[in-house]
Amino acid sequence: AAAFYWIANALLVDAGRFGWLYPIALIAIAAGFGLFPALAALIARAAPAGAPRVVALGLAWLVAEWLRSWVLTGFPWNMVGTAFTLSDALIQPAAWGGPWLLSALLLCAALVPAIMARNGTLTRARGLTGLGFAVTLIATVWGLGALRLQAHPTLLLDDVVIRLVQPAIAQEDKWQSTLFQSHFATQIALTLSQPASEEPDLVIWPEAAVPYSLLRDPTTLAQLAAAAPSQGYLLTGAVRADRDENGPLRPWNSLLAIGRDGLVETYDKHHLVPFGEYVPLRGILPIDKITPGATDFAAGSGPTVMALGNLPTFGPLVCYEVIFSDEIIGDDGRPQWLLNITNDGWYGQSSGPYQHFQAARLRAVEQGLPMVRVANTGISGVIDGAGRVLASLPLEHRGVLDTTLPAALVAPTYFSMWGDWTFLGVLLAGMAGMAWTLLRHHLVGDGGVGSATGRR
């Protein structure tokens, strides 16, 4: 409940239709996501009491997080290793083993003190020994991370200037059709608010900044083209739609690249949000999606690389696509930076937007690529390939941020080369630890009746 309560806030944006679901959603969200640690606890309960059970809990928890990353389209949000995002240095192991290594290290530090218990008792000496190991492990991770940060200083591409536009349009106002023109004018004004002498190479608007009803008006595209930099491009989130031959109108949640001559390229979001952009088991479940419009969004073809003129290539990510570490790089190869456009206005002043921003930082470290994030209500910012936040706009602040694009790390990270295969490596290491504790338990005894759980 503490980790995911903010999801239910989306139901309060249109409280007249969905507010009645709020208390039900709070309970259902907590119960649903609680099934994963419950599964880990159930598996651990089957292990012999004492140290084997503690190690089994750590392994099962890691496997449960992996399951949560893909079951029912997946939601790998707020994994336990995300706690390391309090420090630039502590998140550096993500470059080697992704979120799996971060979670494994934190679980190890958290569980070692329990391993020190004998026959249900933790003496002061053994307790201090376990605590000392945990502190030493965290300190070692921090030290290695600090060394990596020194080895990878921030390098800037001085010839690439980007402008982030954060309009801070309240979610309850965003989809009122009578305000579309006003919202659009606000974003145009923010785009042009800086002197022409400081013209950027790229101007970036957030997710769904241009609704379909405006986009189908040809004057809208002309206005966007006029607002684009004279030698660059305007990137904007938009809801676009096409009609299949003799079929219904299909909407996409898209990113449009627009130059002075008009539309240049389009990316369509491929990993859609259940109940937000489509209703799973539509026709069986008696509910509507909470976003405007009765039609489900169509899914794009997958991760891609966008190339615009002589600018560095980038990988577009719309909304929560940034939380899927295994879906950042597609078949088109490796880009030079990553762009995440989103709208966290649904969740108001809650922990959700902050958690989302930390997920973007982790993807930057995992790939060794700069991450530019532009959000309607925040948090917008620029993150280098080692996860350092170079500049940002705070939550619910309206403004513009001009900054220089960071360069990618010279060498690809281990995680960028091996991806989720690193999970297998972390799991095998944990299984080796499990085998050792089982052997030790068999030879000398370790816990037993009245162990750390007080059960057989």
Whole-number Å distance between alpha carbons of 426 and 326: 16
Residue with tokens 């550096």: 92
Beta-carbon count within 10 A of 405 CB: 25
CA 44 to chain CA centroid, nearest Å: 29
The helix/strand/coil state of 361 is helix
Active site (annotated) includes residue 108: no
Contact 341, 378 (CB under 8 A): no
Catalytic choice (65, 108, 174, 269): 269
Q: Are 290 and 276 in contact (CB under 8 A)?
A: yes
In the chain, the amino acid numbered 249 is L
Sheet with 399-406, side-by-side order of all strands: 262-268, 249-259, 233-243, 202-204, 156-166, 399-406
User: What secondary structure does DSSP assign to 180-245, as a single string?
Assistant: HHHHHHHHHHHHT-S-GGG--SEEE--TT-B-HHHHTSHHHHHHHHHHS-TTSEEEEEEEEEEE-T
| Dihedral pair phi/psi, residue 206, rounded to 5° | -80, 180
Choosing from 277, 319, 321, 366, which is the catalytic residue?
A: 319
Residue with tokens 């026959």: 119
- Residue in the structure block whose two tokens are 């536009």: 165
Q: Going by DSSP bridges, is the β-strand pair 233-243/249-259 parallel, antiparallel, or unpaired?
A: antiparallel
The verdict on whether 289 is a catalytic residue reads no
Q: Which residues of 358-388 are buried (b: 16+ CB within 10 A; e: fewer)?
A: bbbbbbbbbbbbbbbbbbbbbbbbbbbbbbb
Indicate the DSSP class of residue 282. B
Active centre residues (catalytic): 207, 269, 319
